[in-house]
Chain A
Amino acid sequence: MNIKNKIKITVNGKQMQIIPKFTLKSLITKLKMPLNKIAIELNKKIIDKNRISKIQLKKGDKIEIVHFIGGG
């Protein structure tokens, strides 16, 4: 893949490069995130986890992936 075709996105505040037509599901799989333990926001909108295979990521997309940690 030519580097020029790569798309820049931000995941949890960090820049990442992906290939065109990369889906949100591919991203979650690539990051090895267990779907039942996380929630996903795409550009500040919560994404239904059942729909992630239908969502293609675009240039500049901001993704937040969260989980539960210890808290009071």
Chain B
Amino acid sequence: MIDKRFKIANKIFKSRLIVGTGKYKSFSECAKAIKTSGADIVTVAVRRVNISNKNKARLMDYIDPKKITYLPNTAGCFTAEDAIRTLRLAREIGGWKLVKLEVLGDKKNLFPEMIETLRSTELLTKEGFKVMVYCNDDPLMAKRLENAGAVAIMPLAAPIGSGLGIQNKVNIKIIRKQTKLPLIIDAGIGQASDASIAMELGCDGVLINTAIAKAKNPSQMAEAMKLAVISGRKSYLSGRINPNLFGSASTTTKGII
């Protein structure tokens, strides 16, 4: 079966794996992992420049935004106003309109504050942003985000950075059934098999940061994730067998001696 192309807001991307650029030991380690991951979208955050150390290395010196799509996020924002301010600044740096909205409601579990997230999606869409939305795995809220103009639905698998893997497969499957928008698992992936499972559930892509950045060998884990996403996607498209409670012999009994 030929796969349809991975398209977000009418732009085609080659890789279904999106990677984050946070938590790496160094920019060079980050750049190396991104390369092996094959990702063509990376998430980035907006923060104050260090005015006392003018020669400090910058992310943009290591990861060329002309070669890879920067997806500015709103990490650390707790209100729609914070998120909008952050993304307006991101847009001003270099014209980015495709953004990742992430409005948190709790500093400990890092769950999304969905009322503010929905409000932000509406406001940002009106301003011309193409909003990919980090959200909980609630199908009703996912529908509301879609109606508000989101260009991608990005439910969590588990809390950000937890590495717990997909906790609620049923909800992800229901969201898959109801939306034609790109569905991307964002947060909670721990190992390559989690990424495969996400793709086997019918997701269009996976966003991974901590599981790669904090692995003992980030570059190798990045490659594992790349292969897992490809593998899971192919598995999904190939039409799996029906699960059976009992065995079914692979070898015929015909001609048995």
Contact = CB atoms under 8 A, between A and B. Distances in A.
B49 A72 contact: no
Given A39-B90, A49-B92, A72-B210, A65 B54 contact: no
A72 B22 contact: yes
B107 to A, nearest CB: 16
Interface of A: 11-14, 31-33, 36-41, 44, 46, 49, 64-72
Nearest to A13: B48
A66 B30 contact: no
A25 B138 CA distance: 48
A64 B75 contact: no
Given A32-B54, A66-B48, A71 B20 contact: yes
A70 B46 contact: no
B241 interface: no
Nearest to A32: B54
Interface of B: 20-24, 27, 30, 43-49, 51-52, 54, 58-60, 70, 72-73, 75, 85, 88-90, 92-94, 160-161, 187, 207, 209-210
The 6 residue pairs across chains A and B that have the minimum distance between CB atoms: A71-B45, A72-B20, A72-B209, A39-B92, A70-B21, A39-B89
A37 B58 contact: yes
B46 A68 contact: yes
